[in-house]
Structure 1
Amino acid sequence: MTRGGGAKGALHGSSSRPPRHVPVLVSEVLESLAPRDGEIYVDGTFGAGGYTRAILGAANCKILALDRDPTAVRDAAALIDEASGRLKVVEAAFSEMETVARAELAGEQLDGVVLDIGVSSMQLDDAGRGFSFQHDGPLDMRMSASGETAADFLNSADEEDIANVIYAFGEERKSRSIARAIVRHRAEKPFTRTLELADAVARVFHGRKIDGRHPATRTFQALRIFVNDELGELAYGLSAAEHILKPGGRLVVVSFHSLEDRIVKKFFAERSGKTVSVSRHIPQESIKSVPPSFRLVNSRPLTPSKGELDVNPRARSARLRAAIRTDAAPWPLDVETFGVPRPQS
């Protein structure tokens, strides 16, 4: 990709077809990213293209977008045409953005990276993807088209491993009881459908809602995070952004869960010199002298306004953190310093 092409704001008036999806905190993302004419950005979590559309409409810039969901890549065709050469979409996980960017941008430096962590509304609303406990569908939960499904894991894993996954990734206090119920159920009939799992978990809670939510909420969240290694992807994605951003480049991250936000917060705090983590990759006697690779934009995360929450209640847990790349060398990555629970091998 080369710089230039297109016209600032062109996407807002070039098509009578309205955007299918309004992303969370879009105004705050644009303010934090501060897109400018002639610059190049990476949208590491393309989804329905909400952030990409907004960025392309705000400046005469180019975007390299990534998504490991082949459906999202396929559905990007209309926006690619609309962008008139300013957008390229690649099927890849955002943890691979350094490799993809170096291959696609031919040495060009990146001015900004935006990441929207977690499952998309489109994936949640598609019963066939298996993410929702409210709609019956195959118990899949994969964001990509390959790898182990949630059903594969639940039907083959040891009870202790199932309990550990539900506790680590869902912070579910009844993880052991749920794991026992899952093992009992699969002994009679292997899991294949989402509502089978939702019902099995609900029986552990005798059908009661937990904090106003369906009792299977945390279990489904845990399995989704585990199947897609979302927290490991996040840690490696943050490090990849650190490697490809030029000095002055901006990294903007929107997360929706405390586990995700904790990793982003720790990454930015360490890389900006606010805290010091114990790392096996950097000798402790020299770690305090490692120059910061980022400068924080906002010390506290930005959250949705009441007006946005009235329109989109799903945005209630969104947190935006942003930082600006310094000219220091990238730090070695040690995921253990960010408290990333590792999936079972």
Structure 2
Amino acid sequence: MADVTLSKAVRSNLLSLQSTAAAMGKTQERLATGLKVNSALDNPTNFFTASSLNSRASDLNQLLDSVSNAVQTIAAADKGLTAITKLVESAQATARQALQTSATVETSTTTGAAPEELARVVGGTYAAPSGSNATLTINGSDVTITDGANIATAVQAINDANITGVTASVGTGTDSGKIVLTGSANTDIAVTTATAGFAGTESDTYTAANPGTTTTSTSANPKREELRTQYNDLLSQIDQLAKDSGFNGVNLLDGDSLEVLFNEDGSSKLAVTGVTFNAAGLGLDALASGDFDNNSDINATLNDLKAGIDSLRTQAAKFGSNLSVVETRQDFTKNMINVLETGAANLTLADSNEEAANLLALQTRQQLSSTALSLASQADQNVLRLF
């Protein structure tokens, strides 16, 4: 106050006490905030430099989210390529299996009576030869029936002669006691007994009646058609898998592209070009009925599959390179953020140990200043002793 007059000693001690109190306030603020520069008033150069560094660190930190999404988008596309490659390899195996399967099959069809009913010849009632062997001539082939042979032995002898188209059996039912000769389709049977030994007709010719008609046709192997259907099913799965390989709305296998920003002004970036890798995009078309009937068509399909796998592997290498770049920049950005924040901290952070020591010293100084002020005031009070 202007109307109060203080002695020089009192004023000097009062100013010292006020200065100490101000220094204590500043030290306490630094301890409370942990910063030695809390505003531009504390240190304009450090304050604005640190603010700029922190701002850039904040911008880069926001970019990290988009970079992280880019990493997952490329990784999803890479996983999709791996799975599609396996499906294409399965399609290759299916085509090779078709190539190893016979292209055609033969089918025999007989119309009319069944072969065993075409010509039945019943000879007279069998009587075993007596006194000498008997000779039975069937279609020009002589069959010797040994002396005294029973009917079963006679039948066996005929069958052992291997007469083309003719088999013999022992008659049953109304044919009991007879040798029954059965001819295959279109076979005539001529029977002659050169010697005695057979009752009934000994010489006759029998013509096969209603022999039926047997035709052989060649057609495409149905197994190849089944494999063609399996092949088309695999192409459908490739289409579905390509559509499901996206992340966060971006699918690099379905024609989408991706641009990844690496710095705050967008001057550093990476453009990842997407592809359309469904079946059609790989040059694999669905096969129509009969497309696996010819080996040349299957070989052409195998060539398309080989080209598709080459494209998949080439693109996988590109995505792998892109992913490596993005992950490297992601790590770099994290380290750069740390460098920026550390630099800002070095300009503004307070040393808590130093500030604590300063506060203790200021408290001591404050106590000494208070004592000095008290002594100066006591000196001014000595004048009162005169009264």
**Do both proteins adopt the same fold according to a TM-score greater than 0.5, normalized to the shorter chain?**
no
Higher helix share: 2
Structure label with greater radius of gyration: 2
TM-score, normalization by structure 1: 0.17
Instruction: Point out which structure has higher relative CO (alpha carbons under 8 A, 6+ apart).
Output: 2
TM-score, normalization by structure 2: 0.16
